[in-house]
Structure 1
């Protein structure tokens, strides 16, 4: 049986470039933390900021906008004084939350081993 020919190098390069932009967002620590917070349900901006801790207002705004742009987060503005803004995962964002949650579980289960390896490495190369 003949194997299909691999795609030309320029097609692989184009695909890698497209995937890279998505992976850089979904692999960002702030994206992971925001997705995990919103996995529990819709939240207001300051609630997300308080829950995550350590994220600047500018970084939270930038990350939420990127997630909204990619269709992972919905931003709803309520006509109150002052206006209330709520963020929630879309169906696409909820589908991302599953592998993100699994990655978090993996990291938690292996954290002690990883920290031990880091300490050993640092002691050897210090």
Structure 2
């Protein structure tokens, strides 16, 4: 299932980038920047979450008790939140947000590589 998801996301992102290229051609005076969030790196396990248990047939939200594979669990926060991208499966952790912002501001996550300070035309 994960491989299907990865193929879907990769295909979607390629199509999105192709559309961005077309938009740049159509709107030559616009500064259109594509941020490649898919290639986030530097975190231990990119699909882990810090708080909660979510899977096929179960959802135990952060701060709650529930049943996962026949055992009762308490969805507490992880010990090393700075090594996880997602807090709860939906929201980024502070560490992930900081990583992303730093790369957006420097242009290291954009196509073309454009620092935020130079991305707009006057």
TM-score where L is the length of structure 1: 0.26
Who wins on radius of gyration, i.e. which is larger? 1
As a proportion of its length, which structure holds more helix? Answer: 1
